[in-house]
Structure 1
Amino acid sequence: MPNRISTVALPPLRTYGDPILRRKAAPVGQITREVADFAAVMMDAMIEYDGVGLAAPQIGRSLRLVVINTALAKPGPAPLSPGEMLLNPRMPVVLINPEILSAGAETATVEEGCLSLPGIHGDVTRPQTIVLRARLLDGESIELPCAGMLARCAQHEIDHLDGIVFSDRLSDAGFAEVEPALKALEKQTRRDLKRHG
């Protein structure tokens, strides 16, 4: 693939039913060479698998590390938030130990999908704005209001770090619609895990 950042083979995506997706991920301590190298693998995986975000557990590491690339998302009518203004030009961006300090009262319901739930989509209601705290790969600490696709993607990826997938946030009716597909995917994932150890 052109413009690969890392030189190692990409790990396979972990899919619904894999226990790692239900674990609370461990915080990242120091930003070591190993962390930077793994972040490069994550960026390549996100691009290769055609995602706008990826959390470390989705490729087999239970670490509080996400990569996001929402800069190409169609902007809404609202002005860009400080988070978007700072991070969009740097994307794809690595967020280390990201956390949501607060969330706005206004919500929006938008269809979401997930690389770990291939082919499954559903309407998820989330706060439209958040205050995000994280460290960047260069060690810079950020604490910024975020909105738009960046806020939604950050919430989705941070959920992964807490063992939550987007289908957990569907309405009862929305979950009922995708439940057969989830059960089939979980069954396939468990079969694959058994086969590959």
Structure 2
Amino acid sequence: MIYSIVAIGDPVLKTKAKNLAADLPAAELQQLIADMYETMYYAHGVGLAAPQIGKGVRLFVMDSGPMVEIDEEDQEEGEELEDPIKRAFINPVMVSETGEQWGFEEGCLSIPGVRELVNRHADIVLRYEDENRQVHEEAFSGMAARIIQHEYDHLEGVLFTDKLSGFKKQLLKGKLARISKGDVKHDYRMRFAGDGKRR
């Protein structure tokens, strides 16, 4: 099932998500994860957090494959290329964010048509449950770390635009207000807080 992506302006995107219940039936969880992947691919995304489909729970999915391909084009000779990661992360906890911060132009399915330079840490350690509810603590770096930090922020009620300078936020204010009302071009199903309609 393909969900509508919730646009900026909806309170669910600014609310800290709650842990996914331990007693959630496995079949229900697997279906939700499958639907999130389907929605993410339909919208040509590399990550999708549950709040972006209107569900305030700590779950996100990612597939860094398309971003790794972009990195490959810019790869310097002899540079090691990271392996793509496709995974679901349940009830994640950020253990550490380290390494030199680096900038990359990010976008977000909830904010179509907006891309801005965001600085993020190069290395992270994340504790999370996989789709079988097994607990892992794992280190990530590079593009995978960036995608995870972006999606993790969604679970904390933070959007990438919140990380911009006051000046940049001021410049984008009108555009973001228009997006929240549905005044934006998009090629996937969206839900806007301004009128409650799906388009």
Residue 130 of structure 1 contacts residue 151 of structure 1 at CA under 8 Å; is this kept in 2?
yes
- The correspondence for 1:171, drawn from 165, 180, 183, is 165
- The correspondence for 2:11, drawn from 19, 25, 36, is 19
- The correspondence for 2:43, drawn from 33, 36, 49, is 49
Residue of structure 2 equivalent to 1:191: 194
Residue of structure 1 equivalent to 2:121: 127
| Shift of residue 106, structure 1, vs aligned partner | 1.1
Tell me how many residue pairs correspond in the alignment. Answer: 180
Which amino acid counterpart does residue 105 of structure 2 have in structure 1?
E
Residue of structure 2 equivalent to 1:28: 20
- Output the CA distance in 2 between the equivalents of 1:190 and 1:11: 15
Residue 7 of structure 2 contacts residue 193 of structure 2 at CA under 8 Å; is this kept in 1?
no
TM-score between the two structures when normalised by the length of structure 1: 0.83
Residue 19 of structure 2 contacts residue 58 of structure 2 at CA under 8 Å; is this kept in 1?
yes
- Identical amino acids, percent of aligned pairs: 35
| Shift of residue 105, structure 1, vs aligned partner | 4.0
| Shift of residue 186, structure 1, vs aligned partner | 2.2
Higher mean C-alpha displacement, 182-191 vs 13-22: 182-191
Residue of structure 1 equivalent to 2:189: none
- Output the CA distance in 2 between the equivalents of 1:56 and 1:92: 16
Residue of structure 1 equivalent to 2:150: 156
Residue of structure 1 equivalent to 2:188: none
- The correspondence for 1:58, drawn from 44, 52, 56, is 52
- Output the CA distance in 1 between the equivalents of 2:165 and 2:103: 11
Residue 95 of structure 1 contacts residue 137 of structure 1 at CA under 8 Å; is this kept in 2?
yes
Which amino acid counterpart does residue 17 of structure 1 have in structure 2?
G
Unaligned segments of structure 1, at least 5 residues? 1-7
